[in-house]
Structure 1
Amino acid sequence: MTEVSARAMSAEEFDRWQDELAAGYAQEHVAAGNWTPEEALDRARQESAAFLPEGMATPGMLFLLGVLADGSPVGRLWIGLTHPRGLAGCAFLYDIEVAAGHRGRGLGRALLAAGERAAREHGAQALELNVFGANETARKLYETSGYRVVTQQMRKDLS
């Protein structure tokens, strides 16, 4: 497996990531049937602003860029050191994304491992995440990386 390390994002990298994160998150919610396409981008931006009231300076958040040994960026991670439901010792992975040009080469697993190391270095004893049910690639990555289902939401359309 290719080694990926993680470093803090710069302010410019953070701003660019916020725009891309909102667009991707909006798209996932539309695909899941949670939001309409018309409202999705605004809702995604509102949710992000609620989680990050101080932007990049929001306490307890890690905004990391995954890099190869030569310094080439390959992806991004957003980890909250305080779990949203208050689980002691458990950090939360809000976002992980391998850059489009680097996908399909096993770097997702290496990026995830770099995020796990960063969380551990900040005192976390566990790392939890959510994954959309339709994202089979991500679900397989997490399962084969040792993650297990601890809660699950299910839906049936009644139309």
Structure 2
Amino acid sequence: MTELDVRAMTPEEFDGWQAELAAGYAQEHVTAGNWPADEALARARRAIAVQLPDGTATPGELLLVGVLPDGSPIGRLWISLTHPRGLANCAHLQDIAVVADRRGQGLGRALLAAGERVARERGAHALELNVFGANETAARLYRTSGYRVVTQQMRKDLLA
């Protein structure tokens, strides 16, 4: 596996990441049929603002940048040390992303492993995540990294 470390995200990096995160999150919800396209970006921005009211200083939130040994940033992670459903000792992976020009090189797996290590060091016994059904690439990464389905939400469009 590629050698990779993580460091805290700077406030400047947070500003750029937050915009990318909102756009991607909005699109995932539109693709899933959860939100109308014209409202999606505003909804995503509000959701992120609620979860990260103090940006990089929000307690219990790990906002990390994955870096290669030469210091090159290759991706970002957001891990909540407190699970959204209150599961004891279970952190929640909110977001993981490898920069576009570095995808397909095994860095996502290395970034995920680095995030797991940090969560474990902070007292987490487990790490849970949600993945949108259309994101098969991410689902495959998680399955092959040892994650298993613990709940599943399904939908059938009745007007199609």
TM-score range, shorter chain: over 0.9
Instruction: Give the secondary structure class of the aligned counterpart of 1:105.
Output: coil
Contact 2:9 2:56 in 1 (8 A): no
AA in 2 matched with 1:103 = R
Deviation at 1:37, TM superposition (A): 1.1
Contact 2:6 2:115 in 1 (8 A): yes
Instruction: Give the secondary structure class of the aligned counterpart of 1:49.
Output: helix
Q: Distance in 1 between matches of 2:21 and 2:77?
A: 11
Q: Distance in 2 between matches of 1:145 and 1:87?
A: 21
Aligned length: 159
Task: Render the CA deviation track for 1:97-144: whole Å, top value 9, x for unaligned.
Answer: 011010011111000001001101111110000000111000000000
Match of 1:8 in 2: 8
Instruction: Give the secondary structure class of the aligned counterpart of 2:88.
Output: coil
Match of 1:140 in 2: 140
Normalised to the residue count of structure 2, the TM-score between the two structures is 0.98
Task: Render the CA deviation track for 1:50-104: whole Å, top value 9, x for unaligned.
Answer: 1112222211000000000100000000000011111111000000001101001
AA in 2 matched with 1:150 = V
Q: Distance in 2 between matches of 1:54 and 1:146?
A: 32
Larger deviation, residues 46-55 vs 105-114: 46-55
Identity %: 75
Contact 2:11 2:55 in 1 (8 A): no
Q: Distance in 2 between matches of 1:52 and 1:65?
A: 16
Aligned: 1:17 with 2:3: no
Match of 2:79 in 1: 79
Match of 2:60 in 1: 60
Q: What is the root-mean-square deviation in Å for CA atoms of aligned residues?
A: 0.7
